[in-house]
Amino acid sequence: MSKKDVVIVKLPHLKTEVELPPELADVMERLLSAGEYGVTALDLIDAGHLAPNERISRLRKSGAIIVKEKICVTCGGEEHHGVANYVYKGWK
């Protein structure tokens, strides 16, 4: 991976930054911005990440500690049960 294929993301923990490909950097920045509330799979799909589980898996393989929980969300007046909600907890 060349230097122009990565984005540096500032982390709020002991490891202060990591180099990630742009598509993973965007997901990571969304997780950081969401804080303890996390980001749903629907939010990531709306942001253009059509395979959110794959992006989260790649972040985990890179060292991110991300917790997944199933929640109920309302979108467009319609309830969706069992939607994945991802919460960033730290970096290995």
Name 38's Cβ contacts closer than 8 Å, sequence gap at least 6.
Answer: 31, 67, 69, 85, 86, 87, 88
First to last CA, the chain: 21
What whole-number percentage of the chain has pLDDT above 70?
A: 92
- Mean of pLDDT values over 15-41: 93
Longest C-alpha distance within the chain, in Å?
Answer: 44
User: Tell me: the pLDDT tens digits for 75-92?
Assistant: 777 888 899 999 999 988
Task: Please give the pLDDT value at position 13.
Answer: 66
Task: Please give the pLDDT value at position 14.
Answer: 67
What whole-number percentage of the chain has pLDDT above 90?
A: 67
- Mean of pLDDT values over 25-42: 95
Residue 82, SS3? strand
Name 19's Cβ contacts closer than 8 Å, sequence gap at least 6.
Answer: 6, 7, 8
Contact between residue 35 and residue 63 where contact means Cβ atoms under 8 Å apart: no
